[in-house]
Structure 1
Amino acid sequence: MVYDVIVAGFGTAGAVAAISAARHGLKVLVLERGSYGGGTHTGGGVQSLYLEEPSGLLLEFEEKITGEIASGGLFADRPEAGKHIFEREFLAADGSVRYEAPVIGAVMDGKRVTGVRSLNRGRIVEDHAALVIDSTADTVFCRSAGCEFFRGRESDGAFQPFTNTICRFFPDKMRTPAWNFDAGRIDPHNAEAFSKMMLASFLVHLKEDYSEHRDLAMLSDLPGIRESGHAVTETVLSFREILDGSRDVKHPIARVNSNIDTHARDIALESRLLQDYMTGCSLWGIELSIAVPYRVMVPRGIEGLLIAGRHIGVDHDLGHALRMIGLMGALGEAAGVAAYLCVKHGCAPSRIDERELASFLKTGESPAKECAPWPDSPDAILAGLNSGAPGRALWGARNFCSKKILRQWFDAAPDGSLLRCNAAFALALKGDSHGAAELRRMAAERDPYMPSTSRKYNHARGYVSVYFLGRLADAASIPLIGEILADGNIAEHGYEYRTTAFRALLDIGEKHPAHRAEIARRIRTKAEDPDWVLETRLKGTAGTMKRMDPLFRLYAAKVMKRWGFAHKIAGTMKKLPLDPHDAAMAAVRTPSSR
């Protein structure tokens, strides 16, 4: 069959894209591997949206879902009502949908996508279209079309943690609200490890005896996967550009107001920039206003294809914010309108007039919310550094203060004062070791002081100081940081101290080859010991502890190989009780002893 548009995936982005295109008069086919629309929004049991308010078509559908529930009809629950609304609205616009029809590949004419191959009742079907919208979220289709893509964080390629969902039934309210919990990491591109990880994560909350627990309704159809790779697009938007304001987006397809909502509990393995932001400045809860350009949806070097889903062209760090349902709806609407303009003008997606596209989108017209205004005057920065909520001022100092003035403030401040401690942090952010002695003092004392910058997830000064000593590559701190790594009796924030110390030592070694032998000895003492355990609670869990040491061991093995030091980490990994994800990582990412 020949269509104007084929949409691969009927999740939130795909459903809104398909309805948007069909309402503009296009002949649209949806191919969905499941049996309903809405994706994680519905099959994942999502009951509400986080921070990002719906707009445009998604707002219309959210209001219809609310109305459906209020009507007292068949659907008393948002996920089930959502499945109904997405399908009803698409069919009302004369769209065609095939369920249980997984996409298996692209039909290509050189570098141009001309159609989609899918499975339908056990046979391969080939459909053709002027344009394909990849809303598979896992880069499934765009990879088959030859698009470049990148995965995960730089240190080890790991994706963001995923959430699994158990739906609980409350008969008095006739609702099945979702109970979300983080369940570790998962890789959708490794089918065997993915399946095992899903089963393992369900077992965490299943009980042996349900005589006293009668509220379990079902396990969710779809996990909350936050990341599974990003396409290389004509514009790849980065976290650094957002923080520095260096990307001027004249005609955005959406504006996102969100914090950088990382669920990572091993921040020490994230990028330097994300560690500065999260650990150094405790800025997790600070909302940013992010203008999203159209060209994050246009794959580089491939025509006839648009991307609408969490796999758009953004880097790993920024992907912690640009992945939620509100944005997925906006991306879908923009993709549907762009498809209409491509057919109308007979042009490729790369040739779309962005001004014309933005004129169709209410999402692109929404005003920027005043988010995260970094102080930029010396007086405002000084006041912030002299307060109990210094995070914004620290970032303002990073961007707008000279080292000279920060040194003056540091020297004039009383020992141990808020200003002196925070000025030491600000100097370290700028790579200046003038306050290193103060950092060593706070680390040695395990300073418990906690700022109040963020609504959650602030960080204690003691291990923040360890982080900054590593960032400064302060060789004089090696004995102190080594002692912290070896200290198994840190009562408060012990996990944070040890993981931060682990990475800090390796960072110092990267800059000081003469100290690598000593650092390698300290690191190997832990990484080669099968009894060494790093564990912490994942977000959304109360009593379940997750071992984190396997990924730290893998990172150490990678560094040891680069430095040329023999090690026994690979052998140690074989002795550990690894979860399916970490076992798969170890199988392909544990460097040999040389």
Structure 2
Amino acid sequence: MNTRRTFVASSVAATMAGPLLAAEGAAGTSAGTGRKTIETDVLVCGGGCAGTAAALSAARHGARTLLVEKAPFAGGIITSVGLPYFDGISNIGDHRVVVKGIALELLSKTGVCAPDAQVIKPHNPTIPNTFEFKVLLDRELQAQKDRLTVLYNSFACEAESSNGRIRNVTIANKDGLVTVRPKVVIDCTGDADVAAWAGTPTEQSAEVQPLTLHFRIGGVKPAKGIGGLCRESLVKAQALGELPYFYGPGVMFLFGKDEVYVHGIRVPANPTDAADLSRAEMQGRADALAMHKAWKRDIPAFADSYFLEAYPWIGVRESRRLIGQHVLNEKEIMGGRRFPDAIATGCWYLDLHPNKTTLGSANDFKPEKVQPGPYDIPYRSLVPQKIENLLVAGRCHSATRGAHASTRVTVTAMALGEAAGCAAALSLKNSTNVAELDGQKVREVLTTVNAGPFTDAA
């Protein structure tokens, strides 16, 4: 069986030079096509929270790794969407750190905590500067340049599989269409794009959670009860037909004394449909500007304010999910089920946003009623059916919609990515397929680098 899906796309490439493209004939021109070809041990598709951790992990464990990312920088939702929170790094109850490894390492390098922190308050710490975080990720990726090549402004647009293996992945960038021949692929696209194109089972709910665009406004005067005033203004704007939906809103002075960071955009859309995603991007920008205009009109604190920026991409909460060797479900996470092959720990509440306006609370659930204790995520939730050399990490891993509402957040995605990178390198060392790899062995290796599950830590 040969599965092939083709897209034509164009983008600009920025390559971090490394030996991957030159060593042992790794790069060349494919006869008959004129395309450049790249051979690599591990291909990581997507450089968001999961993909960055996966690439670092695979390279640090000795695998020749290629990371492709459609933005001109890594970091995903933190840098492209502007969400500055390390959600899921510590338990909401006792604030015990439950995700260490690369996630804790990165957070400590922003100055938020110590490298060996055991307790972090609050449970969703804020990094001080999202631009500096981009540079931090650049530096960490460049530190692995002997084994890691990064292609920004590049994205996977085709996967070819036969006899249960991905043979080639086509990426698009300034070099044109480039054929990558990997031994192992890690799908960190967020949308399970590569998994779907390769023919492994995935699912997507008929209605998914709404998309959101974060933005910043400068020249705002701090005022008592400003959040409530902003909410009243948006209710008015919606009644006037100026704003279709919103939530919250969250209006916070995070980065400056006169600058507010806002999350309150709510756009229903299908993020795996190119036209609908484009419509959502345009709607998000229009809504952000409409919010600012309403506040400038209605609230004295915003009288001299100015729109600073909307982050470059609208944020996607939910799309495709893998149907893997194990589908993690709500009962398992709410019950704190333990798995012998656990490779990560989750602890976020079931954060499921509706496609309608909600005031104050971001969603229709009360967190205290849907707040699990720390729970295990098994290796099998990263392993697809049918394809033996593919792993899926980040929010598109194998989970039910309800469980995914907890596992989709930033730090949990980093933990899953780190585990996938470790597993990919381990499979190559052991000359086995990632689909047949013993998850307990992955867990053991993660433990040696202070990563993996921490549900039973003191």
TM-score w.r.t. length of structure 1: 0.54
Inter-CA distance 213–254: structure 2 relative to 1 (3 Å threshold): farther
Inter-CA distance 162–288: structure 2 relative to 1 (3 Å threshold): farther
How many residues of Structure 1 are paired with residues of Structure 2 in the alignment?
347
Spell out, residue by residue over 1:269-304, the C-alpha distance to the aligned partner (whole angstroms, 9 max, x if none).
xxxxxxxxx88x985453333210001111111111
Spell out, residue by residue over 1:224-268, the C-alpha distance to the aligned partner (whole angstroms, 9 max, x if none).
2111010111111111333466x541231111112212222679x
Instruction: Work out which of the residue numbers 178, 183, 202 in structure 1 matches 2:261.
Output: 178
Q: Is the 8 A contact 1:114 1:131 kept in 2?
A: no
Paired position in structure 1 for 2:199: 146
Paired position in structure 2 for 1:420: none
Any residues of structure 2 matched to 1:525-544 within 5 Å, and which?
none
1:337 is the counterpart of 2:403:
no
Instruction: Work out which of the residue numbers 234, 242, 259 in structure 1 matches 2:349.
Output: 259
Paired position in structure 2 for 1:295: 380
Alignment gaps of 5+ in structure 1: 69-75, 268-277, 371-594
- In the alignment, the residues of structure 1 paired with residue 67 and residue 453 of structure 2 have an alpha-carbon distance, to the nearest angstrom, of 28
Q: Is the 8 A contact 2:154 2:172 kept in 1?
A: yes
SS of alignment partner, residue 317 of structure 1:
helix
Paired position in structure 1 for 2:139: 88
Instruction: Work out which of the residue numbers 41, 46, 49 in structure 1 matches 2:83.
Output: 46
Q: Is the 8 A contact 1:150 1:229 kept in 2?
A: yes
1:161 is the counterpart of 2:186:
no
TM-score w.r.t. length of structure 2: 0.70
Deviation at 1:201, TM superposition (A): 2.5
Spell out, residue by residue over 1:332-379, the C-alpha distance to the aligned partner (whole angstroms, 9 max, x if none).
110111011011001101121222211122343413489xxxxxxxxx
Alignment gaps of 5+ in structure 2: 1-37, 91-98, 114-126, 221-254, 297-301, 358-363
Paired position in structure 1 for 2:276: 193
Any residues of structure 2 matched to 1:280-319 within 5 Å, and which?
284=369, 286-319=371-404
Spell out, residue by residue over 1:360-416, the C-alpha distance to the aligned partner (whole angstroms, 9 max, x if none).
22343413489xxxxxxxxxxxxxxxxxxxxxxxxxxxxxxxxxxxxxxxxxxxxxx
- In the alignment, the residues of structure 1 paired with residue 139 and residue 104 of structure 2 have an alpha-carbon distance, to the nearest angstrom, of 16
Deviation at 1:47, TM superposition (A): 2.0
Deviation at 1:13, TM superposition (A): 0.5
Q: Is the 8 A contact 2:343 2:419 kept in 1?
A: yes
- In the alignment, the residues of structure 2 paired with residue 61 and residue 297 of structure 1 have an alpha-carbon distance, to the nearest angstrom, of 23
Q: Is the 8 A contact 1:45 1:178 kept in 2?
A: no
Q: Which residue identity lines up with residue 117 of structure 1 in the other structure?
A: T
1:55 is the counterpart of 2:104:
no
Higher strand share: 2
Deviation at 1:179, TM superposition (A): 1.3
SS of alignment partner, residue 253 of structure 1:
strand
Higher helix share: 1
Deviation at 1:67, TM superposition (A): 7.6
Question: What is the identity percentage for the equivalent residue pairs of Structure 1 and Structure 2?
Answer: 26
Inter-CA distance 297–170: structure 2 relative to 1 (3 Å threshold): farther
SS of alignment partner, residue 115 of structure 1:
strand
Any residues of structure 2 matched to 1:548-587 within 5 Å, and which?
none
- In the alignment, the residues of structure 2 paired with residue 83 and residue 41 of structure 1 have an alpha-carbon distance, to the nearest angstrom, of 9
| Stretch moving more, 58-67 or 95-104 | 58-67
Q: Is the 8 A contact 1:77 1:175 kept in 2?
A: no
- In the alignment, the residues of structure 1 paired with residue 214 and residue 156 of structure 2 have an alpha-carbon distance, to the nearest angstrom, of 25
Larger relative contact order (Cα-Cα within 8 Å, sequence gap ≥ 6) = 2
Inter-CA distance 282–260: structure 2 relative to 1 (3 Å threshold): closer
Query: Which of these two proteins has the greater Rg computed from alpha carbons?
Result: 1
Instruction: Work out which of the residue numbers 340, 354, 359 in structure 2 matches 1:250.
Output: 340
- In the alignment, the residues of structure 2 paired with residue 287 and residue 299 of structure 1 have an alpha-carbon distance, to the nearest angstrom, of 26
Q: Is the 8 A contact 2:350 2:370 kept in 1?
A: yes
- In the alignment, the residues of structure 2 paired with residue 107 and residue 176 of structure 1 have an alpha-carbon distance, to the nearest angstrom, of 48
